């Protein structure tokens, strides 16, 4: 699919980050976009940015509240899409929504673990199940599932538990790779791509906390602070010397650094993804850190979870470590 003009696209997680930038760049090319998110406020901001971009006349952009881990909400989203976009066909499906959390299978609450897995894996699976009939009805279509570098390297380093997110992203990667053959045999007009971003400048750190707590606010609650102190203590930090205000400040700084110090911006990431779709690539690595990480893991998989591997990786890709 070399040209998105006049096509119909669904983007999950369109309120911020890569989802927002995918929606903007698709609309700028004259593609009709239906986005979903759990935040109406964030989607309104995305729409305002799209309007500022002045997409081609007639381009239709619609917003839909939906939690991608809930099949009933996705089915409602599909019905709204058909009604508001006035179509029974879908050409592009970007299963992009994701959150972090549930890092430790041993210590983190089961509810948090399953919430992360439900959004990051369940959202992709249910998204494909829900919208497949509309893609089968199109002349050509493309499924784009967002995995992660944590879909081939299940770690954030030797001192951080990272099980729920990594397990989900491994599932997304394996599922999409299997779809390549499945679709070739059963629906050859539909292609599938797996996207594996490295460190991208998004608001996933803050957004994940909001989804987990159900509170659309930036301040940490007392429970959030207590849990943060427990995690920090396990990493060797003397939390006895930290006030609640200091923990709040550290959380804000973590969000700022993840967003602003990333080697690849969300805008750049979206362009790489869309270029990959146009080039009909089934495997889209996003960011030079993702490319190098892939090379290192493939070269020596047995060493991939040793401290020395992480130090080499961080040094070679330019990640900023420490406080």
**CATH number of the domain residue 184 falls in:** 3.40.50.720
Statement: residue 237 has pLDDT above 90: no
Find the mean pLDDT for residues 207-235: 63
Statement: residue 182 has pLDDT above 60: yes
Is there a domain that residue 235 lies in? yes
Statement: residue 195 has pLDDT above 80: yes
254 compared with 197, residue with greater pLDDT: 197
Q: In whole angstroms, how far apart are CA 284 and each of 33, 78, 274, 275?
A: 21, 26, 10, 9
Nearest to 231 by CA among 209, 216, 210, 207: 209
Do 188 and 312 belong to one domain?
A: yes
Determine the 3-state secondary structure of 104 from DSSP.
Answer: coil
214 compared with 255, residue with greater pLDDT: 214
208 compared with 10, residue with greater pLDDT: 10
Is there a domain that residue 207 lies in? no
Q: What integer pLDDT is reported at residue 221 of this predicted model?
A: 72
Cα 109 from Cα 245, distance rounded (Å): 24
Torsion of CA 4, 278, 122, 265, to 10 degrees: -90
Q: What integer pLDDT is reported at residue 245 of this predicted model?
A: 75
* pLDDT-based confidence at residue 53 (cuts at 50, 70, 90): very high
Q: Sign of the CA dihedral 273, 201, 321, 241? A: negative
Find the mean pLDDT for residues 128-157: 97
Cα 160 from Cα 233, distance rounded (Å): 12
Do 257 and 268 belong to one domain?
A: no
Statement: residue 104 has pLDDT above 70: yes
Quote the Cα angle for 121-122-128, to 5°.
100
Do 155 and 254 belong to one domain?
A: no
Statement: residue 216 has pLDDT above 80: no
Is there a domain that residue 323 lies in? no
Do 312 and 232 belong to one domain?
A: no
Statement: residue 200 has pLDDT above 60: yes
Q: What is the mean pLDDT of the chain?
A: 89
Statement: residue 93 has pLDDT above 70: yes
Q: What integer pLDDT is reported at residue 215 of this predicted model?
A: 56
Do 292 and 196 belong to one domain?
A: yes
Q: What integer pLDDT is reported at residue 240 of this predicted model?
A: 76
Is there a domain that residue 147 lies in? yes
Find the mean pLDDT for residues 197-208: 70
Statement: residue 238 has pLDDT above 50: yes
Range of the domain at 241: 216-261
Find the mean pLDDT for residues 275-281: 98
Find the mean pLDDT for residues 285-296: 95
Is there a domain that residue 208 lies in? no
Do 147 and 42 belong to one domain?
A: yes
Do 309 and 160 belong to one domain?
A: yes
Do 139 and 232 belong to one domain?
A: no
Find the mean pLDDT for residues 274-282: 98
Nearest to 250 by CA among 223, 232, 235, 264: 232
Is there a domain that residue 163 lies in? yes
Do 243 and 281 belong to one domain?
A: no
* pLDDT-based confidence at residue 323 (cuts at 50, 70, 90): very low
pLDDT above 70 as % of the chain = 84
Cα 198 from Cα 288, distance rounded (Å): 8
Do 193 and 78 belong to one domain?
A: yes
Cα 136 from Cα 72, distance rounded (Å): 21
Torsion of CA 142, 144, 145, 149, to 10 degrees: 140
Q: How many domains does the chain have?
A: 2
* Range list of H helices, the chain: 17-28, 40-53, 71-85, 110-117, 123-136, 163-186, 204-213, 222-234, 244-260, 266-278, 288-299, 307-317
Is there a domain that residue 1 lies in? no
Do 27 and 168 belong to one domain?
A: yes
Do 86 and 110 belong to one domain?
A: yes
Is there a domain that residue 162 lies in? yes
């Amino acid at each position: 699919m070399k040209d998105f003009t006049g096509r119909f696209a669904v983007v999950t997680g369109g309120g911020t980050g890569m989802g927002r930038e995918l929606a903007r760049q698709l609309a700028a090319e004259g593609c009709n976009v239906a986005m979903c998110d759990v935040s109406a406020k964030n989607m309104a901001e995305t729409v305002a940015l799209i309007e500022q971009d002045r997409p081609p006349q007639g381009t239709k952009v619609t917003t839909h509240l939906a939690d991608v881990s809930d099949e009933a909400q996705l089915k409602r989203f599909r019905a709204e899409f058909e009604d508001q976009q006035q179509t029974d066909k879908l050409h592009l499906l970007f299963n992009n929504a994701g959150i972090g959390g549930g890092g430790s299978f041993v210590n983190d609450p089961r509810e948090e673990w399953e919430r992360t897995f439900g959004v990051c894996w369940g959202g992709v699976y249910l998204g494909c199940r829900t919208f497949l009939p509309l893609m089968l009805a199109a002349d050509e279509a493309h499924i784009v599932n967002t995995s992660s570098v944590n879909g081939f390297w299940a770690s954030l380093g030797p001192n951080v538990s990272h099980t729920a997110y990594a397990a989900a992203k491994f599932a997304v990667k394996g599922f999409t790779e299997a779809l390549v053959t499945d679709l070739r045999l059963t629906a050859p007009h539909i292609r599938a791509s797996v996207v594996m971003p490295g460190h991208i400048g998004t608001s996933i750190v803050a957004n994940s906390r909001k989804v987990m707590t159900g509170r659309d606010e930036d301040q940490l609650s007392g429970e959030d602070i207590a849990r943060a102190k427990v995690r920090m203590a396990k990493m060797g930090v003397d939390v006895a010397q930290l006030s609640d205000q200091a923990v709040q400040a550290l959380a804000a700084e973590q969000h700022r650094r993840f967003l602003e110090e990333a080697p690849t911006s969300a805008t750049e990431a979206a362009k790489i993804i869309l270029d990959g779709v146009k080039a009909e690539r089934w495997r889209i690595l996003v960011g030079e850190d993702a490319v190098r990480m892939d090379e290192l893991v493939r070269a020596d998989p047995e060493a991939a979870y040793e401290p020395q591997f992480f130090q080499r990786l961080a040094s070679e890709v330019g990640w900023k470590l420490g406080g």
